[in-house]
Structures are given as C-alpha cells and as structure tokens.
Structure 1
Amino acid sequence: MGQVNEERRGVYPFCASCTASSVAWRVTDTSGPASGHFYGHRDTCPDCGSSIRTLYHTVLWVPVSKLGEYRVISTGGRSYIGRKLLAHPVQSVVRGEPMSAIAEHPELEAASEYRTAEAYWEDSEPGEALPFYQAALVEREKVLRADDPATLRVRLRVAQGLLATANYGRAIAWFELVTPELIDVFGPHHDLTHAATEAVTGARLMVGGPRAEAQLLANVVAADEQSVGPADPQVLRDRAALGKALLACGEISEALYALSRVVRDAPRGHPDTAVYRAALLEACEVAEARGKRREMLLAETARQVLSDESTPTNT
C-alpha cells in the first residue's frame, strides 16, 4: 500500500492522473453535529473509481464554510480514502541541495551498519535493511543534528522500513515527526518529502482510519511505557502520533492532554521539539475553533504550557 502501482503508475488505490492532480491527505472524523461533511459527487474516474466531493465545516449538520475539494474512494459503509485536489498545478521549483555536516564526518558514510543498510535497500530488502539503518541512525545522531539532511535521509529510511515490515503504528509516528522536518529542510515538493507524505497515507490505509489508528497507537504507547522511560525519544514520538490521531478523531481534550505531556517532556534545543510544539498549537487552534467550553479551557492551559519559560523549546 502507498507504493507506486506498476500498471497504473499511481498511488494505490488512485490512478496516475488522479494522483497527479491531488496530494496525500489525512482523513479526519466526519461524525457529529459540528465537524466536516462531504457534499456533492461528480467527475467519477473510470480508472480508479474516485470522485470529487466537497468538504464543508458544519454546525448541526448545516454547511457553514467550504474546506476544500477532494478525490474520494469509498471503502464500505462510512469509510473512505481521500486525496485533496490541487487548486493549481505544483510549480517546479529548483532548490539547491541543503548543506549537510556529513562531509566533516566521513566515518559515518563508511560505517559498516550504514553500508550494509544501503546494500539491502538497493536489493529491495527494506526489512533486512531496517536494523542496520536504526544502528546507523544512533551513530549519526551522536554527532549530527536530527534535522541535518544526512540524518533525515536515514530517519526516513527507518520509517519506510517500519512500514515495509508492517509495524504501522511506529511507522506513522516516525512519518509524523520526520515529514515536517523534511518540508523545512528539503521543501514541500522534494522527492523525499513526497515519499514521506505518500507513505504515511499508505500506512493509515492499512490501519483502517483515524479511530483504528488511535487505538493502535494507544497500544504502542502502553507497550513503550512498560519498556522505556517517559522521556525516551520513542515514547515521545509515539505519544505525539497518538495525540495527532486523537485530534483527527475529534477527541480534542484527549489530544490536548497527550500533546501537552509530550511538549513538557521534549528535549531542549532539539529539532523534534519544534514539531511537537507545532502539533500542540494545532490542537489548541482546533479546540478554539470548535468553541466548546471544556476544550477551550484545556486549550488555554496548553497555551500556558507553550509559553512557560520552563517548557523545552527547539532553541
């Protein structure tokens, strides 16, 4: 799932033309009187069966504002897969390769773990490559920043390896963390960024929707807490993904709580902390837009966490 279909050259299950005119999109919970609902049904694709539907923000099921147009494929009942339509074709932007400090550490490129991982990857054996990429990543993060281009490439490989070995919860957690950093360092239209956004869509497709994703990630976090400490990078990464999944489900209070914990425990001066803080800020904005008193009070508390001088930042 999420890989290029060799016959249609699109992203499963969308055909090539529908893939080219849209971008990966996270499905959110559209149940409830104040949420988002699809209306309309047009331009059904003869190749993949997707159709264009318009998403509206609703209050008491009455459309209030248009949120965008999407290519949607129904997967039975109320389940569906969607991709957001591009208003305009993405312009090709020539962007120089970002500078990396890897040149100062040639031993990292020559390390046996990294070379073995690359060999397995070239042989289309991501599962075999995964443990070697994980070992290589540990060594890189000892001397390079987490958002150094050379580190990000290995981080992406770890996420892809987890996806290839059906470890969907931890794969989603990695993609949630790495994708914003890829956008910041390489740009939104770089091949690496595109690979990450499409891969996490494939992972979610395999999981079965935001509520199933939230339950899976809750189980992953519970397992984490049994094996490593609360401030371990793996726990933070997985708990942050759980918070994002809860937000997609419309469980705003739980999302605020989960993401606030992550931000409090995040490492100081680390690029990942910026991603966690942005996720909590997004949850605050969603809560404030919904206007429910309890959620707004929790959002106010969360904003105090973000502004507190004792709360870790990425600087």
Structure 2
Amino acid sequence: MAGLAFDIRPSASPTPEAERTAKLKDPGFGRVFTDHMSIVRYNQAKGWHDARVEARANFPLDPALAVLHYAQEIFEGLKAYKRADGGVNLFRPDANARRFHNSADRMAMAPLPEAVFIEAVEQLVRIDRAWIPGGEGSLYLRPFMIASEVFLGVKPSAEYIFAVIASPVGSYFKGGPAPVSIWVSENYTRAAIGGTGAVKCGGNYAASLRAQAEAIEHGCDQVVFLDALERKYVEELGGMNVFFVFEDGSLSTPPLGTILPGITRDSIIALARDAGTIVREEPYSIDQWRADAKSGKLREAFACGTAAVISPIGKVCSASGDVLINGGEAGPVAMGLRKQLVDIQYGRAPDPHNWIRKVF
C-alpha cells in the first residue's frame, strides 16, 4: 500500500497566469482554490485504490450518500511554505497523517495509510506549486475523507472518498497578530469524555458554531469552552488550543483527552521545553484564570492552530464580567514562540526536531 502510485492528470484548462497572479495578491483565507485535487477511493473489495491527481471538480453526490445522513467525515489542515531559495516546505505532514489515521479509527472509517496521505499532499503541492504565495503567505492544504456508500441505515460505510484540495492564503493577520477577545461559553460544551473531542471531524465544528455566534453577539472574536462534566475547567477555543504564561516563566495548557491534539500545540510544547521552560499539561479553571489575571500571576494567554499559528488573548469576557490579560496587549512569550515557529516553517531557522519535509 505504501507504493500506491498516483495517476497525474493535469487540468486541460488551468487558470491563466495573469488571473492566478491577480488572485494571489490578496487571497484572503479559504476563498481561492488551486486548479487540481488529489483523490483516492476505497471499498471493502479493493481497499484503497484509483489514486490520482486531476482537475478540481465537483463530486457527483447521490441523495442517499452516507456522509449526508450519518456524518462520517474527517479532515486535516496543514500548509506548504515557500523558502527564500524558491523551494517548498511542508511542516510535520507525518503528524497530520497520524492524526488523520486516528480520527478515521474513532469514526469507524477505513484508516488511510500514512504514506498515501503524505504522497497525496505532496503530489498536489507539486502540480499546483505556482499557487504558493511568497512572503508570509502559504498554501493551505485540506485533506478530508467522506463516507460515500449509498444507503440508509446506521452502520459504518463500506465506501469512502479521500481527497486533498488546496487554497493559497495570505497572512492570517493584517498588520501583525492582534490580541483577540474571547467569550466564555456557559451554555454550550464542545466535547465529553468518551466522545469525539480529540477527533478532527466536521461534527465537532458544527457543534461549536452556535457558541461562536454567541461570542460574536457579545462583541468577541472567539469562544472558549469549559469541560462538559463540571463546567469549570478551560478546554479549548472553537478551533484552537490555548496556553497560559505565568510570572515564574512557566507555561500551562489543558491536558489531552477531550480536546484536539493540536500539532501547533505539540510544537510549542517542544520548543518551550527546548529552551528550558517548564510546561505543564494540567486542568486550569476559569475562576483561576480570572483570579490569576487580576493578581498578575498570569502574564499572558494565547491560542494556537495551523491557520493563525499563535493568537494572543487580550480579554476574557463572560456574563460575570470582563478581564484583561497583559493589559490587552500581545506578550513577548507568545510573540517569541510565534516567530520561532514561523521561522522554522519557512526555512529561516534550524529545524532541531526534523519537522520540515522538503517537497522541492
């Protein structure tokens, strides 16, 4: 299976260079797409087969397609970065492949071999290399899998489609990372023990949208969820993990279990520990967050994920009142870690953990 060969079928009508150049000037995030997609199919008789790269196109969808009724769907998010020498880096695609495999297992889907995942990503980057922005831009890659058997009945699908699409994206922040305000959700929870909180599946994100809308209604940028059992311990934001920086220089982040095992989260832990920083993975209550922010024990808080890398948290809002973090400003620890990580991704700094996979 590791040797599954991809049939490369270049688009007969790729985007003209002038049009592509115009789109790359200000691509935004997730609105512009490249010319091709990678696709691999699965059924129980053949296993994974028919691997190819072809022109990006719509899927023909039967109204009884399993994913539409029973939500067997998972996805990943990673980026390709253009180096100063013109080459292209992927950042920890093996970690994405491993998490994708684990997500499939939890959702009773056919696990995709990690080597096939990585090859599908690399082949798409190769054929759509011209779509990778320069500067602080990157090519956002979205591998995903859907249940494609046509039936009505509660059981795992016997057929799946795995695909990768790509979207050129600019810097997530205009003018640099600005501190965000977050709303503490007291009415909704994201995941419970034994659920799918550690899985990157669409259902988790769908369940977070009402809480995110509530945050926006209160003038906040993001929502932060508390644990489902006691409604007191901080878990994660709607789509990002969270860290806390204390006056003694140590860091803390919620433990894994009901939250997504973020690859950026894991990378930050490794870089901080490389520098001799104590990093604890432990429960931290919302009441303690408020108290530590007011007393000055908590110096910074920040969220992290593939899209924004690191986003400083400037204010925590809730029905109980608002609390400023670091005077509402971005802190040196968050910004230092962000620069360190971004420099590795773009090939501007040494890669001590062999996280970079060079496509070119």
- Could you say which structure has the greater relative contact order, defined with CA pairs below 8 angstroms and 6 or more residues apart? 2
**Higher strand fraction (1 or 2):** 2
Q: TM-score, normalization: structure 1?
A: 0.29
Q: TM-score, normalization: structure 2?
A: 0.26
**Higher helix fraction (1 or 2):** 1
